[in-house]
């Protein structure tokens, strides 16, 4: 099995290949829309729950993949259940598959951890840089926004964002086009003025299909999908500071116009 970072030259060349060259008049983006879970907040802090229940912390990734799959299934089926409830239901489903008993205490711990995930270390410096460059910053998340304090407040990031949007307003999960259009409608701008930052390619694909620009953050366990007709992100980087620098270099003049 190849270890992470074993072939840095190949990985670097892949990122260069998938990053389009900026056009001279490419200055229309003025609002940066951030995904929250995993992009800004560190979901690996949930690993102790999976290590204790399943004796395998890596099952966090199976749980998260199944959670995203079933959230999208609900939307495609014309159904809706809040993301937090799907998260708990997915944990119970995974426990059933692996023959593990999940107690109410386990569920309470999971709910508490879901609402208090810390920010990635690179999040605040990058947000500060974008804010000082004059960009308007908002978030768009599958999670509900009614909790107090919010997950962003708990993580110390809320002050960077003028507004936070949740898909609960349209009762459809990303990447449904209605979720991205919600932000454009509420901010009274055209989708082309928005750029989504996310570490999930399915999210940037959905945003770009809805008229946004896409900025792909290749955090661990996330990568580009090399297949026909897959929309290539406008920019990409493995670290949020680098992604912020690229955003400023490409669209910085629009943020102050």
**Strand ranges across the sheet with 235-237:** 163-166, 136-141, 31-34, 194-198, 213-217, 235-237
Whether the pTM exceeds 0.75: the reply is yes
Q: Is the pLDDT of residue 19 over 80?
A: no
Residue 26's pLDDT band, with cuts at 50, 70 and 90, is: low
Task: Please state, as a whole number, how many other Cβ atoms lie within 10 Å of the Cβ of residue 177.
Answer: 16
pLDDT digits (tens, 9 = 90+) for 193-233: 999 999 999 999 999 999 999 999 999 999 999 999 999 99
Percent of the residues in the chain that have a pLDDT greater than 90, as a whole number: 81
Q: Identify which has the larger pLDDT, 4 or 203.
A: 203
User: Are the folds of 8-41+118-255 and 43-114 the same?
Assistant: no
Residue 149's pLDDT band, with cuts at 50, 70 and 90, is: confident
* Per-residue confidence (pLDDT) for residue 144, from 0 to 100: 80
The residue written with tokens 């992100």 in the block is 233
The full length of the chain comes to: 257
Q: Is the pLDDT of residue 170 over 60?
A: yes
Q: What is the mean pLDDT of residues 30-49?
A: 96
* Per-residue confidence (pLDDT) for residue 256, from 0 to 100: 59
Cβ contacts of residue 207 below 8 Å, gap of 6+? 33, 175, 180, 194, 196, 198, 213, 214
Superfamily of domain 43-114: Putative phosphatase; domain 2 (1.10.150.240)
- Residue 165 host element (H or E): strand 163-166
Q: Is the pLDDT of residue 10 over 90?
A: no
Q: Is the pLDDT of residue 5 over 80?
A: no
Query: What tokens does 253 get?
Result: 């003049």
| In the chain, where the domains are located | 8-41+118-255, 43-114
Q: Which of 161, 135, 133 is nearest to 39 (CA)?
A: 161
* Per-residue confidence (pLDDT) for residue 12, from 0 to 100: 38
**CATH fold group of domain 8-41+118-255:** Rossmann fold (3.40.50)
Helix ranges (H only) for 77-162 are 83-97, 104-114, 123-132, 151-155
Dihedral of CA atoms 176, 188, 20, 209 in degrees, nearest 10, equals: 20
Do the Cβ atoms of 175 and 78 come closer than 8 Å?
Answer: no
* Per-residue confidence (pLDDT) for residue 6, from 0 to 100: 43
């Amino acid at each position: 099995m190849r270890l992470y970072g074993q072939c840095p030259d190949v990985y670097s060349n892949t990122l260069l290949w998938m990053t389009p060259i900026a056009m001279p008049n490419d200055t229309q983006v003025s609002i940066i829309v951030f995904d929250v879970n995993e992009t800004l907040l560190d979901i690996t802090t949930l690993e102790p729950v999976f290590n204790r229940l399943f004796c395998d912390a890596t099952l966090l990734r199976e749980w998260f993949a199944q959670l995203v799959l079933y959230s999208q299934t609900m939307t495609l089926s014309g159904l809706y259940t809040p993301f937090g409830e799907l998260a708990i239901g997915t944990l119970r489903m995974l426990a059933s598959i692996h023959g593990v008993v999940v107690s109410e205490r386990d569920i309470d711990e999971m709910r508490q951890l879901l609402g208090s995930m810390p920010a990635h270390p690179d999040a605040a410096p990058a947000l500060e840089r974008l804010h000082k460059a004059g960009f308007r910053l908002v978030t768009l998340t599958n999670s509900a926004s009614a909790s107090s304090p919010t997950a962003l407040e708990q993580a110390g990031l809320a002050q960077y964002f003028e507004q936070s949007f949740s898909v609960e307003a349209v009762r459809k999960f990303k990447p449904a086009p209605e979720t991205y259009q919600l932000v454009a409608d509420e901010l009274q701008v055209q989708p082309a003025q928005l750029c989504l930052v996310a570490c999930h390619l399915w999210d940037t694909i959905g945003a770009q299909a809805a008229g946004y620009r896409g900025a792909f953050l290749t955090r661990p366990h996330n990568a580009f999908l090399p297949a026909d007709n897959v929309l290539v992100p406008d920019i990409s980087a493995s670290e949020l500071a680098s992604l912020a620098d690229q955003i400023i270099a490409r669209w910085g003049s629009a943020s102050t116009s």
